[in-house]
Structure 1
Amino acid sequence: MNKPNRHPAGVLDIGLEAFLPRGAYAPDARRARTSPFFDRSRAAVNEAAQPGALSNLLESLRHRQDWTGPWYKRGVTALKYLLRSLGMAAQHQRFLALIAADPVLHAYRRRDPRLLERHMHRYVNAHWHRRDRLTYLQQHYRFAKAHLPSGLYELVYAMGHASLGSLTAKDGSLLTLCLRPPIYKGCEGELCLQLCDVNEEPLYSIVFSIADELPALMIGCLQGPRGDHAKDVVRELTRILHGMRPKQLMLSLVYTFARHYGIERMVAISNDAHPLRRSGRPLFSDYDAFWEEQRGQRIGGGWYALPASLPHKSEAEVPSNHRAAFRRREALRLEAEQLLLNALAPPVPAFRRAAHEASRIPFPVVAGSGNGP
C-alpha cells in the first residue's frame, strides 16, 4: 500500500527545526528572504502605485514651459525628470499629491513648474541630499498653508505678488514692501521679501524658507541691485533711509517675521554652501562677512547660526549731533516692521471687530441717573 502524501518541511507552519536533533538551530528562512532595504523598496513601489499617483505624475509632465529647447532636448529633460522621480518614488508622489490637493499650490505650479522638481536640483544648501531638499520644501509649504493668513497665502503663491504697504523716504519718495514667491526657477528659498520703489520694482530682496519641525528660519539669499551703477543705487538708498543700510532693514524684517511666529532658531547660508557657488554664476554678496558682522557663529552643514535677536543701539549710545537722524531711522524701521506684522496678522472676524469698536465707544451718561457730576 502506498504511504500517504506528506507536506515537505516548512509547510503548514512546520519548520526545519522539526527534523533537527534536539538543541540544534536553523535560521528562519522566511525572515532571511527579506531585508530592510527590500521592505522599504516594496513599500515605496506600493505607495507609488496607489490610485491617483500615475495621474499626478502624468499631470506633472504638462505645461512645462521651464523645459526649453527643441523637442528632442525637451524629451531628454523629461526622461531625466522621470528617472529622478523613480529614484524617490514614494516621497515624490506624496509631494505631487500635496500640490494637486491645494488649489493655491496648483495655481503656483502652473506659473512656475520648476516647483515640481525643485528638490531634484541645487537648492538652498549645496550640501543637502535630494531627500533633505524635498523634506524642507514640504515643511515650508506645510507651514505657509497652516500659518500665513489665507488671503496673503493666495496672493503670494497663486497671484505671485502681495503688496504690504508704503514707506515715505527722507526725500519724500515712496518705497514699498512686497512678499513674493521665489524668482522663476529659483533655488534659494520659498518666500521672498522685497523692498521696492514706487513702481514695485525690486531694490533689495531677502529669500528664506521655514523648517516647521525644528522650527527654524533658513535664509538663503540677501541680494541688492545689480549692474554698473549698483553701488550708487545702494548709496542713494541708504541716504533716503536716514542712513540705515537696506540689507540691515531686510534682516530686521525677517527677524520680525520669525518673532511673530515664535521661531527662535535663525540660520543663514554660507558662501561655500550657496547653491549658485558651484554653478559658475558669480555671487555679488559676501554672505560670510555680513553674518559675522551680525554676530553669527559658523556651524556645521554650511550654515551660520544667527543670534536670537539683533543688537540695536540705544539713543544714548549715539552722538548728540546724530540723534535726530537716529530717531528718524528707528521710526522708519519700526514702521516697516509694522507693515509686515499687519500683513501677517489674521483678519479679525466681523463680529469680533464690531465688539472691539463697540468697546471703544464711551458709555453714555443718562441725565438724572447719578452717573454724572
Structure 2
Amino acid sequence: MLLRSFQGRWDLGYTPAPRQIHGYLSHARHSLAYLPRQLDWLRFLDGSEEMRQAVRSDPGLYSRWHAPFISRELDAPARLRILQAHYRFLLERFPPRLRDKLLRGHDVRIGTLRLRNGEAVHLHLRKPAVRAMGELGLYLVTGSKEVLSSCIFTFGGEDGLLIGAMQGSWSFLGRAPIREFTRGSHGVRPKNLLLTLMRVLARLYGIERLRGVAQAAHPFAARIHADYDSFWQENGGIPGKHGFHELPRFGARRPVRLLPSKRRAARRQREQFLDEARAVFLRALDWRRPSQPSPDDQRDASRLPPAALHPRAWA
C-alpha cells in the first residue's frame, strides 16, 4: 500500500524537479514517522470504490494530514481524525449522486438565486483549489462565472462542522460586484449568505458544533487579508480551543416589530431572499429526490422529516 501511494502521486509529476523531489521525500518521511496511522489511512482510501475514485482524482489525499490542515493548532492525529470523519460522513450521509460527482473532482451547480434586477447568481459545490483549508467549497458565483464569495468547510465528526476559509470576491473584481449583489439581495452580504447556509447545513445533519478558524491559526495566516476574527465575532463567535471560534447554529435577529416602520419592508424582502436561498440549498441535499432511488437512500430519507424542507424551519 505504501508503494502504491507513491505511485499514485501523479500530481507531483507536474511540478518542477526540485519541488517534485521534495514532495516525494516529505511524503516518505511523514509516512514512516506515522506508519501505523498512515497504513490505517491507506486501508480506508482503498476500502471502497468511491474512495479509490476520490484518491485517483485527488492524490494529495494520500498525505493531506501530514501538513497543517484547517488550523495550525491541530496536531497530526487530530488532522487524520477529521479527514477520516469527513469522508465517512460523505459515504454514509451525503446524497449519493452529489457525493460521487464531488469525489470525482467535478464542479456541481446546486442552485440558482434571482436578484431584484432579475440577474442570476449560482451556488456551486466543489473541492477547493487549495486543500489545506478544507475538503469542500461552497461558492457564490455570478452568471459570468465570477466568484463573489467562497466558504471552505469540512465535516469533522465530533470536532463539528469546520470552516477553514470565508473569502470574498476575486481581488481584481474590486468592490463593485459585492455592492451590486448586496443591493440585489435587499442587503444580504455574500459572506453572510454563505454563513447562513453553513448554519442550515449543521442543523440539517444534526451537527452540534459550528466552528470557524481563527486568524492566527489559519494555515496561510501571513498571506490572507480578511479579518476572520472580526467576522466570526460579528456573527456571535466565541474564541475556543485549537484555533477555532465556536459559532452559534442560529443567527441573532432583531424582531421585525422592533424595527422602524420604514425598515420593515426591506427586512421582509431580505428574509424572503434568505428563505429562497435556504430552500434551494435544502433541495440540493434532500435524500428523497427521485434521482436517488436506491433502498439505502430511501432508508436515509427517514432522517429528514417533510416539514424540514420548509425554509422557515431553518431561519
- Deviations for 1:88-144, whole angstroms, at most 9, x for unmatched residues? 112112212222233333333233322221111221011111221111111111111
Please tell me the residue identity of whatever aligns with 1:197: T
Number of the residue aligned with 2:285: 344
Select which of 205, 213, 218 maps to 1:269: 213
1 or 2 for the larger relative contact order (CA 8 Å, sep ≥6)? 2
Cα deviation for residue 246 of structure 1 reads 1.2
Partner residue of 2:193? 249
Establish whether residue 83 from structure 1 lines up as the match of residue 24 from structure 2: no
Name the structure with the higher helix share.
2
User: Do the aligned partners of 1:67 and 1:77 also contact (CA within 8 Å) in 2?
Assistant: no
Unaligned runs of 5+ in 2: 296-315
Residue identity opposite 2:175 in structure 1: K
1:294 to 235, 238, 247: 235
Paired with 2:247 and 2:19, the residues of 1 have a C-alpha distance of: 43
Q: Which residue number in structure 1 is paired with residue 261 of structure 2?
A: 320
Q: Is the 8 A contact 2:12 2:23 kept in 1?
A: no
Judge conservation of contact 2:57–2:103 (CA < 8 Å) in 1.
no
State how far apart, in whole Å, the 2-side matches of 1:172 and 1:303 are.
38
RMSD of aligned residue pairs (Cα, Å): 2.2
Alignment partner, residue 203 of structure 2: 259
Alignment check: 8 A CA contact 2:149 2:169 kept: yes
Equivalent residue of 1:187, what SS? helix
| Equivalent residues in 2 for 1:149-160, closer than 5 Å | 149-160=95-106
CA–CA distance in structure 2, aligned partners of residues 87 and 215 of structure 1: 24
CA distance 1:178–1:269, change in 2 (3 Å): same
1:216 corresponds to which residue?
160
> Which residue of 2 is the match for residue 111 of structure 1?
57
Distance of aligned partners of 1:269 and 1:311 in 2 relative to their CA distance in 1, 3 Å threshold = same
Identity %: 30
Report the more deviating stretch, 150-159 or 306-315.
Answer: 306-315
- Residues 45-64 of structure 1 mapped to structure 2, 5 A cutoff: 53-54=1-2, 57-64=3-10
TM-score by length of 2: 0.86
The one of 240, 243, 255 aligned to 2:184:
240
The SS at the match of 1:101 is coil
For 1:75 and 1:302, how far apart are their aligned partners in 2? 32
- Aligned in 2, Cα 1:69/1:154: closer, same or farther, shift over 3 Å? closer
8 A contact 1:105–1:158 mirrored in 2 = no
1:192 is matched with 137
Separation in structure 2 between the aligned mates of residue 147 and residue 229 of structure 1, nearest angstrom = 37
**CA-CA distance at 1:256 after TM superposition:** 0.3
Residue 3 of structure 1 corresponds to: none
Q: Alpha carbons of 1:225 and 1:68: their partners in 2 closer, same or farther (altered >3 Å)?
A: same
Q: How does 1:11-160 map to 2 (within 5 A)?
A: 53-54=1-2, 57-71=3-17, 73-160=19-106
Aligned to 2:310: none
CA distance in 2, matches of 1:127, 1:255: 24
Measured in 2, the distance between the counterparts of 1:69 and 1:259 equals 41
Change (3 A) 1:226 1:70: closer
CA contact (8 A) 1:66 1:113 kept: no
Counterparts of 1:150 and 1:69, CA distance in 2: 33
The 8 Å contact of residues 215 and 263 in structure 1, kept in 2 or not, is answered as: no
Larger radius of gyration: 1
> TM-score by structure 1 length?
0.73
Give the aligned partner of residue 150 of structure 2: 205
Decide whether aligned partners of structure 1 residues 90 and 296 sit closer, same or farther in structure 2, where only a CA change above 3 A counts. Answer: same
Aligned to 2:224: 283
Q: Structure 1: give runs of 5+ residues left out of the alignment.
A: 1-52, 353-373
1:171 and 2:171 aligned: no
Structure 1 CA distance, aligned partners of 2:63 and 2:10? 11
Q: 1:170 to 1:133 in 2, by over 3 A?
A: same
Task: State the aligned residue count.
Answer: 293
